[in-house]
Structure 1
Amino acid sequence: MAKKPIITKHGRTRMKERRGISENSSDKIAKRAMEHGIKADDTLDELRKWILNRKLDSLSSLYIYAGMAYIFRKNKLITAISIPEEINKYLKAYVEKEAWDRYKKYRASLHRNFHEEKPIQKSNYIDTKTVQALVNRFCRENEIPFVVVSVRHQYARNFSVHFISDCPENDKMHFRKIREWGESERDIKLTLIHDKNVDGSYITIKDR
């Protein structure tokens, strides 16, 4: 197993700006990317062209993980770049099959501790506890740094989702992905609200 990567100040800043990853989580995500991410040599077609355009030197390595490209120089994370949305949406098509299978197997293994959560089928009725469990699961599986603390039913299949995160300034970059998942996969519409303290400041995960 590779040793824990060192993250430069620039690398942490880019992880926070481009993916909303807090400093507390950045070490864990960088280690996962280096150990289990998709290597540049295993990419194809448009993704390979996009990587080649980064013009990396021979001492640098690039790994694809959870919608981001992480660039290392030996054991040091230099920066993190968002993959173009049109490529990331169909990522499987741009990765060698064996590498893709390894990557997906690892990603699935992260979430096997969800076995206590009962599978939930689409139906005409869905309660707030179910919505909370589903959104939290989706965020964990997609490395979205939100924790849903409560859900309120508005009307029909519309819900307000109250969450907390450590980087409120980056919340909005994740909203579209969560909403699109809710509508396409669960037939629910979600309004996302970051809970606040009485003084109007945002509640963060580290405040809990």
Structure 2
Amino acid sequence: MAPPVPNYKLETLARHFQVTIQPNHRAIDDAKATVELLGHLLARLSPQSDGRTGAIARYHQRLYPLAQQMAGWRQALSHTRPAPLLDRLGQILGWGDVAPLRDFLAARDDDTLDPFTALRELLDYAAMAKNSLDRIAVGENRLPVVTLHQAKGLEFEAIFLPVLNKDVFPWRSKQDSEEEKRLFYVGLTRPRRHLFLSAHGTPSPFLTHALGV
């Protein structure tokens, strides 16, 4: 059973188990604290070994097919290109039309990479991680559509901030308006050359303040 602690950082667990040497970010002390902590954890695990063995025996028949399937997927990752892999997954899980996503994977698949590495690259790209945003923003004839959170730390030649309406931005039920002000500032400071702000109906108070009206 996991110890009742707020998190599982080394410092927190060391305090909980009252290890002799508390971690202090000195390599030797942190290593000693880790070794002692492992001793405490192993002592808690040993009495439960019979229970774990019994659980494995009870659920082995149910879990074995899943384990086999997972092993098959791991093997497929190493030799199947992303688009065919999606087709195979869609057939097994009974997904509907995956043609648009398949076309995206096929178009972005870098065939100079092995299948697994190519899939990782595609997942990074789709997740819009910061490095992927940098690649989109530089040297590609594409229009990134991102959140203000994702735009932090990045710059673009032009920025479009649409729908700056009252009760939309800031959202009427949002309690932390200061956080939304900071996000608005992020949007205002991302462009290198051009900034386009738009609203219809009643404009956001952020917009009227920024324009001085």
Query: Which is richer in strand?
Result: 1
Larger Rg: 1 or 2? 2
TM-score by length of 1: 0.21
Query: Which is richer in helix?
Result: 2
TM-score by length of 2: 0.20
- Taking CA–CA contacts closer than 8 Å with sequence separation of 6 or more, which of the two structures ends up with the larger relative contact order? 1
